[in-house]
Amino acid sequence: MPPLHHRFTTAPELGPSDGGAAMAALLAMGKQERWHLRFPPSLEARFEANTAAQRSRDLQAAGLLALGIFDSLLLNDWISRPEVLLLACWWRLGVATPYALLVLALVRRGLPRVWREGAIGSLLILALVAGCKLFQQTTSPDGIYDIFLFSLIFLAGNVVFQLRFACALGSSMIGLLVAAFYLFGPDTQPHHAKTYAMGLMVATALFTALACYRLERAERRNYLHVLREITRSDMALQAASRYAALADTDALTDLANRRAFDQELPRRWAHAANNGLGMAALLIDIDHFKQFNDLHGHAAGDDCLRRVACAMRIAVRDNDHLARIGGEEFAVLLQPATVSSATRLAQRLRAAVVTAGITHNGLAGQPLVTISVGFVVTGPPMLLAPDALMDAADRALYEAKRQGRNRCVRLDGQTFLPV
């Protein structure tokens, strides 16, 4: 049987609630009375879903093994009670074997849990009926010894099949009633031997049912432990990726932050260089933001930053890398880029902020919040290294400010081109 965690990896994804349920059930199982062998309903369904395939394989293997041994006892019939050999052939090969093969085939196809366990339990009962029929019909003086073999049937049924406890108990009780019915019917065998054999069967049934209880409980405990560990590691992974995302995110605007931008710049630059693509860097600065803060206050300034970020986020494409890299300074990396696509983006950004209609009024001639954009396009081939690219964009931004703000300027070589 592969380890439980191996089976888990092929199971459906575990949500956080499953982990919570597993932990709660684990704690509850620790506190509950010892006979309790059932999880809360949702967890029970998951337990069955996770273990059914392997359980079905185990039952098939155990079933074929037990059937082989059961049929090989024909040799025993032939040697010790040849007068019932024909009857033995009929019960072993004509009845029990086809029935067992049918049950195993159904188990292989997949039966609901109760049917699966019940069908396997019925094999135990059928084996007992067959044994009792032979015992009834034999006239051999050695036939009496056969009843001591009946205990083996309980051993095989409960322990080899490792029946679920409830089923082991149920089928053992029915098996004991069947055995009592046949053993104490009218026949020629001595009564004291039958009583002794019956006692042996009761003891075997009880011991093996107890073994089933312990095995099932251990399996369920292991299942919960594995589930808990998987849940813990899932939660740890989720927390790690949440922290990683937080470390790269600007808390105020929810855009990428300076740290993320600094990592993205060389990555995109290398990608452009390796793939013969053009790349553009745009630097954006809110105009007269100090006056805005002075007039409206810092909280309104924060809100303004959020609204500007939101307007620009709508203006860029998914693939463009928009970041807040300083107080009121933003940047966009565009790739692949051409002069015309970068120009269109710069104009779109500027227009988006104006269209957002954020009141400024911090100084004359500045009714609305505006931005200045400086940008540069390079490649292919990449004539500007990442630092030089940002430096050039910064110079273009400075020029946009110098020329009066609320405008876009591209630096082409040493030439500033208003767009």
Q: Is residue 298 a contact point for ligand GTP (CB under 6 A)?
A: yes
Q: Which of 326, 375, 386, 325 is nearest to 350 (CA)?
A: 375
Q: Is residue 163 a contact point for ligand GTP (CB under 6 A)?
A: no
Q: How many residues bind ligand GTP (CB under 6 A)?
A: 17
Residue with tokens 């059937």, as numbered in its chain = 67
Q: Is residue 110 a contact point for ligand GTP (CB under 6 A)?
A: no
312 burial type by CB count under 10 A (0-12 exposed, 13-18 middle, 19+ buried): buried
Q: Is residue 412 a contact point for ligand GTP (CB under 6 A)?
A: no
Q: Which of 199, 209, 189 is nearest to 150 (CA)?
A: 199
Q: Is residue 399 a contact point for ligand GTP (CB under 6 A)?
A: no
Cα angle 317-319-323, degrees, rounded to a multiple of 5: 85
Residue 73 vs 305, nearer CB to ligand GTP: 305
Q: Give me the amino acid identity at 200.
A: L
371 burial type by CB count under 10 A (0-12 exposed, 13-18 middle, 19+ buried): buried
135 burial type by CB count under 10 A (0-12 exposed, 13-18 middle, 19+ buried): buried
Q: Residue 381 Cβ, how far from ligand GTP at the closest point, in Å?
A: 33
Q: Which of 105, 162, 145, 103 is nearest to 127 (CA)?
A: 103
Contact residue for ligand GTP among 219, 287, 394, 399 (CB under 6 A): 287
Q: Is residue 404 a contact point for ligand GTP (CB under 6 A)?
A: no
Q: Is residue 286 a contact point for ligand GTP (CB under 6 A)?
A: yes
Element (H, E) at 294: helix 289-296
Q: Is residue 328 annotated as part of the catalytic site, yes or no?
A: yes
Q: Residue 402 Cβ, how far from ligand GTP at the closest point, in Å?
A: 10
Residue 146 vs 328, nearer CB to ligand GTP: 328
Element (H, E) at 410: strand 408-412
CA distance 123 to 118: 9
Q: Is residue 394 a contact point for ligand GTP (CB under 6 A)?
A: no
Q: Is residue 305 a contact point for ligand GTP (CB under 6 A)?
A: yes
CA 347 to chain centre: 46
Contact residue for ligand GTP among 269, 289, 330, 375 (CB under 6 A): 289
Please state at what angle helix 146-154 crosses helix 191-247, rounded to 10 degrees.
Answer: 10
Q: Is residue 285 a contact point for ligand GTP (CB under 6 A)?
A: yes
Q: Residue 245 Cβ, how far from ligand GTP at the closest point, in Å?
A: 20
Measure CA of the first residue to CA of the last residue in the chain; give whole Å. Answer: 71
Which one of 53-61, 87-95, 231-239, 285-293 is the stretch in contact with ligand GTP (CB under 6 A)?
Answer: 285-293
Q: Residue 260 Cβ, how far from ligand GTP at the closest point, in Å?
A: 17
Residue 64 vs 252, nearer CB to ligand GTP: 252
Q: Residue 362 Cβ, how far from ligand GTP at the closest point, in Å?
A: 9
Structure tokens at 306: 């959020």
**Strand order from edge to edge, sheet including 415-418:** 321-324, 329-334, 279-286, 371-378, 408-412, 415-418
Site for ligand GTP in 239-278 (CB under 6 A): 252
CA distance 196 to 155: 17
CA distance 145 to 84: 15
Contact residue for ligand GTP among 19, 157, 278, 301 (CB under 6 A): 301
Q: Is residue 117 a contact point for ligand GTP (CB under 6 A)?
A: no
Q: Residue 418 Cβ, how far from ligand GTP at the closest point, in Å?
A: 17
Instruction: State the CB neighbour count (10 A cutoff) for residue 386.
Output: 20
Question: Cα–Cα distances in Å, from 253 out to 6, 101, 169, 248, 306?
Answer: 43, 67, 64, 12, 5
Contact residue for ligand GTP among 327, 367, 404, 418 (CB under 6 A): 327
Which one of 224-232, 261-269, 281-289, 340-348 is the stretch in contact with ligand GTP (CB under 6 A)?
Answer: 281-289
Q: Residue 285 Cβ, how far from ligand GTP at the closest point, in Å?
A: 5
Residue 136 vs 291, nearer CB to ligand GTP: 291
Residue 89 vs 300, nearer CB to ligand GTP: 300
Contact residue for ligand GTP among 171, 204, 293, 378 (CB under 6 A): 293
Structure tokens at 118: 């019940």
Q: Is residue 290 a contact point for ligand GTP (CB under 6 A)?
A: yes
State the catalytic residue, choosing from 117, 219, 328, 399. 328
Q: Residue 3 Cβ, how far from ligand GTP at the closest point, in Å?
A: 53
Q: Is residue 328 a contact point for ligand GTP (CB under 6 A)?
A: yes
Active site residues: 328
The residues that touch ligand GTP, with contacts defined as CB under 6 A, are: 252, 285-291, 293, 298, 301-302, 305, 327-328, 401, 405
